[in-house]
Structure 1
Amino acid sequence: MPFSPFFRMALILGLLSAIGPFAIDMYLPALPAIGAALRADVGAVQWSLTAFFLALGVGQLVYGPVSDMVGRRPPLFFGLGLFTLASVGCALATDVHTLVLLRFVQGLGAAAGMVIPRAVVRDLHTGTEAARLMSLLMLVFSVSPLLAPLVGSGVIALAGWRGVFWVVAVAALAGLVLVQRALHETRPAGRRVRSSVGSAAAAYTTLLRDWHYLGLVGIGGCSMAGFFVYLAGSPFVLINHYGLSPVQYSVAFSVNAAAFFASAQLTARLGRRYGMAPVVKAAASGAGAVMLALLAHYLLGGDRLAVLLVLYFVASALMGLVIPTTSVLALEEHGTIAATASALMGTLQMLIGTLAMAAVGLFASDAPLPMVVGMATGALTGVALTWITLGPAGAQRIAHGAAKDIAPERRP
């Protein structure tokens, strides 16, 4: 049923998760124009992305424990409100330094929409049902990378780059209304951790000592690192180096995003048939092989846009199997502190991606090679982590957890 409670919950969580990324993807086509308008170079403009991601990671460390303590809804209200105010400030910024600062504040607000929906998934389900809900959530979430660049191009054409931030402010207000009217509390008072700094510290200590959890987080983080590098570099490479228009760039970006989110819909089915650990190992290894081929193309003197787009399309599809599956596996054994576990996962993955983006940014130019080196490095590091984490001991632990059925599955 298209409007079953299961699908309706995925729709709500996906839309809330998409608000922050919408603020990224929608203004990607405007990055060169922002640099020209604020008289800033490529590196300075890319810092507006880096600052957002840093805040998105750091903010999750706070929202996770707080939502375990006070419930899921109050932190969402606060985060969306902060995001709205910062978006208005970004629309009024007159220099790149102010824009970077406000983007950081905007990222702090957006962090609530990243960590809490994942925790709600764990509140409601485990195992393949959690993977199913997570993949549906990501299908709804896909509205951002699929449509946001195209919408951004239209808004930029009509109202300039500042119009983008007015639009995302309105989207955040709509998110506030959605939480108020449609999202019930999934963390009842009886299941909340006592509100104290000590409880949060104990939860983080437990997670940081769990090498299996950290390995799964790292696999997803490495996949995201390659995407972050592409996110920051592709507007300059595709528009300035290959000569695409902002609209053409938006279409190219959306097609790659479509591959990711379409393949993510197969995670639950493949997980039931082959097991979740084998799916991750096969997909991560395939993505690494494809990115190695792309790197070889440029190192050997190639410079074809078609090769970049086609190979990254395939890699994106494979990453669509890796990221949601590792997210479910990482949270599987930590249901009592689901939001805290989700927060640390989001923070570590954002920091991995941000560090990769900042490192490549030191060598950033309109040329494709620095971007491709960063993308391939992330993918190949992810392959190594996959085979370390999901070796015989890791796969046995996952199988044992599935057999125990750690928490009873409950439908929304």
Structure 2
Amino acid sequence: MSDLPVSNPASSSAPASALRLVLILGLLSAIGPFAIDMYLPALPQIGASLNAPVSAVQASLTAFFLALGVGQPLFGSLADLWGRKKPLYLGLAIFVLASIGCALAQDIQTLVVLRFIQGLGAAAGMAIPRAVVRDLHTGHEAARMMSLLMLVFSVSPILAPLAGSAVIGLGGWRWVFWAVTAAAVLGMLAMVRGLPETRGPAARGDSQLADTFRAYALLLRDTHYLGLVFIGACAMAGFFVYLAGSPFVLINHYGLSTTQYSMAFALNAVAFIGAAQFTGALGQRFGLATVVKLAASASGVVMVALLTYYLLGGDQLAVLMALYFIASAFMGLVIPTTSVLALEEHGAIAGAASALLGTLQMLMGAIAMQLVGLFSTGKPLPMVVGMATGALCGVALTWITLGTARGRQTAQAQ
């Protein structure tokens, strides 16, 4: 086996090696989102095929999200105890077996259970790649690699729904699960030679399970870490609200076709991805903490403008799309940068820190989506209220977290 060198971070950042590493980590990170986004167009067909009501079919999606939240701390802990690669292999193996089971499921109850197991396996790819980035780099280099990772990862909301529709059209909904099985197998093969073990025996030392519990206890007492996690979580919550509400608003209220909706959704993803590529350069010039302050505040201002427009009776799709495009770009600066800052001081327990970050952000996004759903009318205003609330909570947390003495030290250290 030929692994990339990890003893010297500079050597691992050589262009070819860095690109290969980012592509592999991005593929591993995207397997879970692909299993969500490719699956969405299949929901009606699954209900008809398995003779299941809408609520039961939706439960298979909820089960996957819950498993992603539960599984990330588990695999983050294993990544600190065993190293990074073994838990990734374990997670992918679970994902592959559960995906095959989903493809063969004959009733909705079995599918829901297997979707939960599938989500547990996918959680490894969500939690561990961020820890690998932290193992190799800190500061601006970490922000740059995290942005590249986000670039690969963010292909999912652009391509996965279209790919899912194509697969369903060719072979039916079961072929969605065969497709994600193939993607997971490809990820395992890529890991064999292309992914280094970035937490070797010397770094693991005599790590025990008790150390993991102590790591989570430490993280949950670290208000600076939690503040940074929840800044990103607020941005994610606004996106989750948009994710849940936009099909009804854009298709039913504004009359877009499903293809037009996919293009509108992709437009926001492009804004997010494009802006994220500037985090390293902007962080190096102005400091990562300053980037977060300015980007979060600007996103809040844009969302307040959008909310004000709808409160005053406006109802133009162009205004919604233009202002959320701008807000998405600012979120592309906030989310990867806060992830880097949150992990910066926790290199020794980066797996646990990354996993807890992912879990808290996933759960907060799901809660926000559910709460706003209670007030959803299919019109833009409830959705925009939820999106603006997330942005404003993020602004408040940003200035509270990065305005403290420790936050100022973080800013000065960049």
Do these two structures clear the TM 0.5 threshold for a shared fold by scoring above it? yes
Going from structure 1 to structure 2, the CA distance change for 1:94 and 1:292 (only over 3 Å counts) comes to farther
Cα offset for 1:373? Answer: 2.3
Q: Secondary structure at the match of 1:323?
A: helix
Going from structure 1 to structure 2, the CA distance change for 1:35 and 1:258 (only over 3 Å counts) comes to farther
Question: Which of 105, 125, 133 is matched with 1:121 structurally?
Answer: 133
Going from structure 1 to structure 2, the CA distance change for 1:169 and 1:368 (only over 3 Å counts) comes to farther
**Paired letter, 1:295:** L
- Residue pair 2:296, 2:395 contacting (<8 A) in 1 also: yes
Cα offset for 1:32? Answer: 5.4
Distance 2:41 2:388 in 1: 23
Q: Secondary structure at the match of 1:297?
A: helix
Partner of residue 27, structure 1: 39
Distance 1:345 1:87 in 2: 26
Q: Confirm whether residue 376 of structure 1 aligns to residue 362 of structure 2.
A: no
Partner of residue 408, structure 1: none
Deviations for 1:212-271, whole angstroms, at most 9, x for unmatched residues? 000000000111111112222223333333333332222221111111111000001101
Distance 1:23 1:58 in 2: 17
Going from structure 1 to structure 2, the CA distance change for 1:357 and 1:32 (only over 3 Å counts) comes to farther
Q: Confirm whether residue 244 of structure 1 aligns to residue 244 of structure 2.
A: no
Distance 1:18 1:241 in 2: 31
Partner of residue 257, structure 1: 269
Distance 2:288 2:198 in 1: 26
Question: Which of 40, 51, 64 is matched with 2:53 structurally?
Answer: 40
Q: Secondary structure at the match of 2:101?
A: helix
Distance 1:242 1:94 in 2: 37
Moved more, 153-162 or 112-121: 153-162
Going from structure 1 to structure 2, the CA distance change for 1:397 and 1:337 (only over 3 Å counts) comes to same
Cα offset for 1:395? Answer: 3.4
Partner of residue 145, structure 1: 157
Query: Which segments of 5 or more consecutive residues in structure 2 lack a partner in the other structure?
Result: 1-12
Question: Which of 205, 208, 212 is matched with 2:220 structurally?
Answer: 208
Partner of residue 330, structure 1: 342
Deviations for 1:306-364, whole angstroms, at most 9, x for unmatched residues? 22222221111110000000000000011111111111111111111111122223334
Cα offset for 1:113? Answer: 0.4
Question: Which of 356, 362, 386 is matched with 1:344 structurally?
Answer: 356
Moved more, 204-213 or 78-87: 78-87
Going from structure 1 to structure 2, the CA distance change for 1:239 and 1:259 (only over 3 Å counts) comes to same
Question: Which of 102, 108, 114 is matched with 1:102 structurally?
Answer: 114
Q: Secondary structure at the match of 1:4?
A: helix
- Residue pair 1:153, 1:246 contacting (<8 A) in 2 also: no
Matches within 5 A, 1:1-400: 4-31=16-43, 34=46, 40-41=53-54, 45-93=57-105, 96-399=108-411
Going from structure 1 to structure 2, the CA distance change for 1:167 and 1:51 (only over 3 Å counts) comes to same
Distance 2:135 2:63 in 1: 31
Deviations for 1:137-161, whole angstroms, at most 9, x for unmatched residues? 1112222122112212222333343
Aligned-pair RMSD on alpha carbons? 2.3
Moved more, 51-60 or 296-305: 296-305
Paired residues in the alignment total 401
Cα offset for 1:54? Answer: 2.0
- Residue pair 1:150, 1:251 contacting (<8 A) in 2 also: no
**Paired letter, 2:192:** Q
Going from structure 1 to structure 2, the CA distance change for 1:244 and 1:105 (only over 3 Å counts) comes to farther
- Residue pair 1:56, 1:347 contacting (<8 A) in 2 also: yes
Amino-acid identity (%): 68
- Residue pair 2:240, 2:365 contacting (<8 A) in 1 also: yes
Going from structure 1 to structure 2, the CA distance change for 1:227 and 1:94 (only over 3 Å counts) comes to farther
Distance 1:125 1:320 in 2: 20
Going from structure 1 to structure 2, the CA distance change for 1:361 and 1:89 (only over 3 Å counts) comes to farther
Distance 1:267 1:240 in 2: 36
**Paired letter, 1:145:** P
**Paired letter, 2:53:** A
Distance 1:306 1:385 in 2: 30
